[in-house]
Structure 1
Amino acid sequence: GLLEAAATTKIEVARRVKEPKSTTFSTTVGQNFSFDLKDGLLVGEGSENFHLEPFDEVYIRKSPSYHQQQNVMVGGEVLFSGSYALSKKNERLSDLIAKAGGVTPDAYVKGARLIRKMTEEELRRKEDALRMARMGGGDSISVKKLDVSDTYSVGISLEKALLNPGSDYDMVLREGDMLFVPEYVSTVKINGAVMYPNTVLYRKGENLRYYINQAGGFGNDAKKRKAYVVYMNGTVARLKSGNTKAIEPGCEIIVPSKDPKKRMSPAEVIGLGTSTASLATMIATMVNLFK
């Protein structure tokens, strides 16, 4: 019998060309017949007297309008959290929020984030990158820096998506997406190369220097000009010391550290000193010879 996804139209039969008595060359490589199926019987022109022959190939196509349910998740500060099935291919963030009954008064829409599952093609590319990193030399990507998870965060702006439905901000969803709308978070985290990683209250209008001071200042190995911020919605941005609008509630400030310098061992220092002395002696000898 047919599978659930089978189309009952455009059923094709491919037949070999068999002309054992032919004495001329022919460009025909096969015969194709197309029929429809109704009540288990072929219908269409020539179907009344059509019989299968040895080596015939019958092709049953998948119906172009057949789609299995594709589910997405929404949680956090919405009226009805849970799993929802997509009703169309271009369903967007605003459509999902509408299905969930909208957001609650306590929702921090600006901090909403989306977690997406990787497709087979994305997983294949990641496996290729891992394989190259393991086989490569010093210039290849570090294996430790590659994320081995099958999900990743997508930076979204749910606030702008709800204000402008159907715009570029209103991202199209796909199967497996997980949307989370958090509550308002009134703190800011400071991590990385600081004296004391800390979590402090958000103060509107304060710049990077204020929050770094709340963590005891920069560490000795801090890359001060490379500090960046990770927002609740998954987006990342570089930080400038005088920018007071870049830091938002619930974000995390990260200060990267410099690469550790390799110090010379005592034996290496002695060896370098001996080599320098030998080189100086050789130069002095050559100078005396050419006087």
Structure 2
Amino acid sequence: MRAIITATELAHELTGSNPPLLLDVRWQLSLAKAAGAPDFDGRAAHAAGHIPGAVFVDLDRELAGTPGPNGRHPLPDVAEFGAAMRRAGVSADRPVVVYDGGQGWAAARAWWLLRWTGHPDVRVLDGGLPSWEGELSTDVTAVAEGDFTPVPGAAGRLDADGAAELARTGVLLDARAGERYRGEVEPIDPVGGHIPGALSAPTTENVGPDGRFLPAAELQDRFKALGVRADTEVGVYCGSGVSAAHEVLALAVAGIPAALYVGSWSEWSADPSRPVAVGADPQ
């Protein structure tokens, strides 16, 4: 099953006999509070205009648990996640397409969670809402309750110890910006730097200027240059398990399975017993 879908393909499928359920997961990682400005309101953006038939899903409340020692976006309670997905209309026998405002990070988080909990057919709209050329709707979408029952474990997941081990035995990719990896700046978490042994691989380099993924062959070349081979075990982390999901998605486009360290740097750096590396050297 392909991990992404183009806007043209989506428009065609929406006219078919089993159209996909659309989930709108518009969200932004915002530092606005520090400047006294309001946070981005994805629900308001959805109400102002969405792909017809889409249902809004709140990343912070429905795709993550309460922030704390396990990170800023820890895994949600599985039962609560399942209930939220059923309210949104998710069923096991209906395909799901997820989109966001174009960055792709939030959509990838929803994609990963649905895959990890066993949904057989979920894809991300490549390029997000900006790629959609059809009309938008302001109507409130009414959907029937879905029947999706999450069963965790269908996709790869790492905890902190697993990430540390993979950095030694396989390839652990850090999807954050290079300056955060090197520890030059850290605007969110208490400590800058990276997990020892992890390689810097900003997720922003997996897409072109239009926000769409690079061709699979180019992504394969990129990850090969980072040491990924056919038999390599790969994991990804970021600040809080959101942009890293986008890199896991890029790896899937390239045909490479990868695990997500959900707690990511926000969990790792909160534990003073965990070692921290700084600079461009992985170690």
Q: TM-score, normalised by structure 1?
A: 0.21
Determine which structure has more spread, i.e. the larger CA radius of gyration: 1
Higher relative contact order (CA closer than 8 Å, sequence separation 6+): 2
Q: TM-score, normalised by structure 2?
A: 0.21
